[in-house]
Amino acid sequence: MDFDRLLAALYTVVLVFGATFATQMLATGFDVFNIDMSAVQAATNSGLAAVLALFVNYVNPKVTRYGIGAE
């Protein structure tokens, strides 16, 4: 695997996780001064679930951006 493709995949994982985490925190009414651990855990679980789709793409040979199907 090419280093640039690996870097692109890692960047995508971080981007998707961060965006999903932030969206979940905002959707639950995240209060900056009152951090609830259950809300953080829920947002982390949402981020991990979103990143799971990236790993499915990684093993799909029809996806050519990165992973097994990359040229």
Residue among 70, 66, 71 at smallest CA distance from 13: 66
Six token digits for residue 20: 């999903």
Is 20 within a domain? yes
Kind plus residue range of the DSSP H or E element containing 49: helix 37-59
Q: What is the pLDDT of residue 1?
A: 54
pLDDT tens sequence across 16-63 = 899 998 888 888 877 767 778 888 888 899 899 988 988 888 888 887
Is 66 within a domain? no
Structural domain of residue 45, as residue ranges? Answer: 3-59
Is 44 within a domain? yes
What total of structural domains would you count in the chain? Answer: 1
